[in-house]
């Protein structure tokens, strides 16, 4: 028995290593398929047609990264879609069609919401995925998976804008506002409470700022330029300039969502960043991008751009200084993306770094909201969540 145990352990680690290698191969192949532009490696067609491709693992990875419809669209634009096995083509095409149907539904709701806001003299600024519901965006924008409809309105108009949506039937989610600490919403949250459509899978977030951090938000908005866009149906929205969209993408992912701390590779957001750069290269000035960032965030932009270069074959600009930590960051990102243990380790580090602040909030809640925890405990026992 004592001799057999090391063999079991060796087999266990061998299986884990083999699984990690397969995930790394799938990640690399997925990135090559999604690569911006219509060009591709000369051997990519043969690699896609090979029997050795782990289509189940590749499809799972694309789904986990929310890029399955984008994968279908990218291969169609490259003229490689027909080289895939029939069942893979059917799977990708089905999810692409379903996502486009959902995006059309979101577009229809966006138009209805915009009409209601325009009637009270509000032109919302579209953020993130909501922008792709307008025409004239980058190639593949119609295949982006969209979560919420994020609309920016001025803080002074938040109340009337929220009232306009509730008059349309949108509802506050779970009445979470009763558990917010005094002034917490106004001082810390960048958007109001989510508004849910009563019958459709549509969630709207009205933002009072672009970014959660007030300093980053102020710096980004100093040079914000918005362009009006009028839908064929009549209502008008505002779209931020490309530079703002790129910086918002990077700061939201890497800073607000703490993906740099957790070493998370967000392919959906990275693909949008790369596609925007590829589509608007002539208009971009990397020096102006850097000047709109705090000094400590300039290296993060370089690291993020290097991610797009590494996984999506997006050219790196000569005018953007590379981060001295680029190689280490790319190595860690791949480890976390392909090895569950590494992923859990960095999630734990992130949780640990935020623990002191959470404990402080806990003490404040105990003092100011004694009824909060009994309700939370009952919700957990009933299988609910807040």
Give the per-residue pLDDT at 123.
Answer: 97
Q: Are residues 225 and 170 in the same domain?
A: yes
3 state DSSP class of 370: coil
Alpha carbon distance 58, 8 (integer Å): 28
Q: Are residues 246 and 372 in the same domain?
A: no
The total number of structural domains that make up the chain = 2
Q: Are residues 315 and 371 in the same domain?
A: no
As a whole number, mean pLDDT of residues 313-318 equals 93
Q: Are residues 327 and 359 in the same domain?
A: no
As a whole number, mean pLDDT of residues 202-231 equals 93
Q: Are residues 238 and 366 in the same domain?
A: no
Last residue of some domain: 323, 338, 353? 338
pLDDT of 342 above 70: yes
Q: Are residues 224 and 369 in the same domain?
A: no
Q: Are residues 266 and 344 in the same domain?
A: no
- Using alpha carbons only, give the angle 27, 32, 36 rounded to the nearest 5 degrees: 125
Q: Are residues 348 and 284 in the same domain?
A: no
Domain of residue 374, residue span: 340-386
Cβ 60 vs Cβ 337: under 8 Å: no
Q: Are residues 165 and 296 in the same domain?
A: yes
Nearest residue to 64 via CA among 93, 26, 94, 103: 26
Percentage helix, strand, coil, to 5, in the chain? 65, 5, 30
Give the per-residue pLDDT at 182.
Answer: 47
Q: Are residues 125 and 190 in the same domain?
A: yes
Q: Are residues 32 and 142 in the same domain?
A: yes
What's the number of CA atoms in the CB half-sphere (13 Å) around residue 259?
A: 22
Alpha carbon distance 228, 92 (integer Å): 34
Give the per-residue pLDDT at 5.
Answer: 55
Q: Are residues 215 and 329 in the same domain?
A: yes
Cβ 92 vs Cβ 84: under 8 Å: yes
| 254-307 pLDDT tens trace | 999 999 999 999 999 999 999 999 988 766 899 999 999 999 999 999 999 999
Question: Pick the residue with more confidence: 196 or 19?
Answer: 196
């Amino acid at each position: 028995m004592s001799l057999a145990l090391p063999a079991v352990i060796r087999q266990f680690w061998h299986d884990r290593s083999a699984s990690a290698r397969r995930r790394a191969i799938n990640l690399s192949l997925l990135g090559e398929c999604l690569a911006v532009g219509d060009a591709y490696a000369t051997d990519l067609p043969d690699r896609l047609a090979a029997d050795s491709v782990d289509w189940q693992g590749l499809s799972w990875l694309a789904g986990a990264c929310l890029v399955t419809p984008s994968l279908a669209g990218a291969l169609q634009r490259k003229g490689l879609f027909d080289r895939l096995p029939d069942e893979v083509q059917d799977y990708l095409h089905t999810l692409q069609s379903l996502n486009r149907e959902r995006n059309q539904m979101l577009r229809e709701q966006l138009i209805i919401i915009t009409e209601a806001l325009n009637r009270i003299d509000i032109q919302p600024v579209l953020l993130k995925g909501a922008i792709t519901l307008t025409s004239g965006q980058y190639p593949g924008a119609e295949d982006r998976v969209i979560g919420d409809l994020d609309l920016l309105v001025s803080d002074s108009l938040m109340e009337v804008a929220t009232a306009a949506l509730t008059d349309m039937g949108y509802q506050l989610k779970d009445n979470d506002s009763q558990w917010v600490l005094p002034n917490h919403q106004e001082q810390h949250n960048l958007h109001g409470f989510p508004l849910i459509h009563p019958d459709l899978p549509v969630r709207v977030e009205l933002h009072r700022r672009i970014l959660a951090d007030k300093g980053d938000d102020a710096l980004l908005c100093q040079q914000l330029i918005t362009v009006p866009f009028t839908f064929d149906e009549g209502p008008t929205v505002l779209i931020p300039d490309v530079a703002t969209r790129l910086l918002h993408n990077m700061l939201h992912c890497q800073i607000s969502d703490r993906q740099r701390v957790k070493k998370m590779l967000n392919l959906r957001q990275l693909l949008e960043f790369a596609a925007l750069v590829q589509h608007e290269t002539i208009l971009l000035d990397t020096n102006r991008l850097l000047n709109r960032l705090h000094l400590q965030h300039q290296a993060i932009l370089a690291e993020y751009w290097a991610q797009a270069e590494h996984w999506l074959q997006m050219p790196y600009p000569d005018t953007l200084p590379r981060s001295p930590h680029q190689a280490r960051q790319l190595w860690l990102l791949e480890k976390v993306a392909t090895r569950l243990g590494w992923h859990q380790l960095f999630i734990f580090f992130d949780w640990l770094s935020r623990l002191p602040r959470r404990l402080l909030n806990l003490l404040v809640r105990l003092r100011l909201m004694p009824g909060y925890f009994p309700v939370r405990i009952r919700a957990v026992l009933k299988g609910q969540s807040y």
